[in-house]
């Protein structure tokens, strides 16, 4: 497989711009408080409106492909180079049994993928993460511990979890992740400001196979290929992979068909990192990293 072109590996923190839903909710809270102060009898309506706004925020966080809480990559950004590109993202690894076999399949088809790795798993199997990077794939942040209550965390807890994942993966690969995917895709309004401060971009997907629970490889493949189009971002799992009736991880049966079909459709695989680099002006200076980059890795 040909080595990818050198990419930018350093991006400055992004400026946080509250999404309209966030600013609208804040304004509603202020209005509700003012209404109760000026006319106490309005408290049922004011309280009800605040509760309703919180329900909307919760629903937005429970919808992985939502952009209501802030920017979220559900497809590759439009560009002249994206007209025949699709992205394969692989979550929850590394897995010592599955990931090396996934890498071999990708090599056979000259395909590059984006691996969203869990920090703790990466610490247990650093040599596999090194292999992912060495074989031309991108390693991105899927949190340090992949806790199921991640979306219920306060800003400080979110930052500690994401920052720990950043440091773990940077220490192993020598390259800072540029993307973050929340565990199960679930999040809350506090996540985007943290990602902005850490220079990370949230990424979800266009379509997924539900291959952590679906044991039928044919059904997983159909979900991924149904309506496949340029700029799609696909999600499968090398960690927590479901197993078919024969005991084999489903991903190992899904990948060959997926890669063959993409080749027949003349679609080319790219990484999210490459797509980001292609949409960054080539003459733009690489921003200086924040002081966190220079912090010792053992200060987690």
Computed on alpha carbons and rounded to an integer, the radius of gyration of the chain in Å comes to 21
CA–CA dist 170, 226 (Å, integer): 36
Considering only CA atoms, which of 137, 150, 141 is closest in space to residue 187? 150
290 forms bridges with which residues in the sheet?
none
Residue 242 sits at φ, ψ, to 5 deg, of -65, 160
237 forms bridges with which residues in the sheet?
91
Active-site entry in 142, 237, 238, 277:
237
DSSP-derived secondary structure letter, 254: H
Question: Is 148 known to be catalytic?
Answer: no
Question: Is 125 known to be catalytic?
Answer: no
Active-site entry in 91, 95, 197, 238:
91
CA 64, 65, 67 angle in degrees (round to 5)? 110
CA–CA dist 3, 292 (Å, integer): 30
Helix (H, G, I), strand (E, B) or coil at 59: helix
**Rounded to an integer, what is the distance from CA 112 to the centroid of its chain?**
16
> Is residue 16 a contact partner of residue 197, using CB atoms and an 8 Å limit?
yes
232 forms bridges with which residues in the sheet?
75
Residues classed as catalytic: 91, 237
């Amino acid at each position: 497989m040909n080595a990818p072109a050198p990419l930018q590996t350093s991006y400055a923190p992004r400026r946080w711009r509250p999404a309209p839903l966030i600013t609208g909710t804040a304004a509603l809270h202020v209005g509700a408080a003012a209404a109760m102060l000026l006319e106490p009898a309005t408290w049922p309506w004011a309280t009800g409106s605040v509760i309703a706004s919180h329900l909307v925020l919760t629903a937005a966080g429970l919808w992985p492909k939502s952009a209501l809480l802030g920017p979220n990559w559900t497809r590759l950004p439009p560009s002249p180079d994206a007209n025949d590109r699709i992205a394969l993202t692989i979550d929850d690894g590394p897995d010592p049994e599955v990931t090396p076999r996934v890498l071999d399949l990708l090599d056979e088809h000259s395909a590059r993928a984006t691996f969203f790795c869990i920090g703790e798993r990466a610490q247990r199997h650093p040599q596999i993460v090194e292999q992912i990077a060495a074989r031309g794939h991108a390693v991105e942040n899927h949190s340090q511990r992949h806790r199921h209550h991640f979306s219920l965390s306060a800003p400080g807890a979110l930052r500690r979890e994401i920052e720990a994942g950043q440091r773990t993966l940077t220490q192993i690969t020598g390259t800072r992740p540029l993307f973050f995917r929340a565990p199960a895709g679930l999040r809350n309004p506090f996540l985007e400001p943290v990602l902005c401060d850490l220079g990370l971009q949230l990424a979800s997907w266009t379509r997924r196979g539900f291959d952590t629970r679906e044991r039928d490889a044919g059904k997983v493949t159909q979900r991924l290929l149904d309506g496949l189009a340029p700029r799609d971002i696909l999600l499968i799992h090398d960690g927590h992979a479901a197993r078919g009736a024969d005991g084999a991880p489903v991903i190992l049966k899904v990948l060959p068909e997926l890669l063959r079909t993409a080749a027949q459709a003349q679609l080319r695989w790219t990484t999210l990192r490459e797509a980001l680099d292609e949409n960054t002006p080539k003459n733009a200076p690489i921003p200086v990293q924040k002081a966190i980059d220079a912090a010792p890795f053992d200060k987690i």
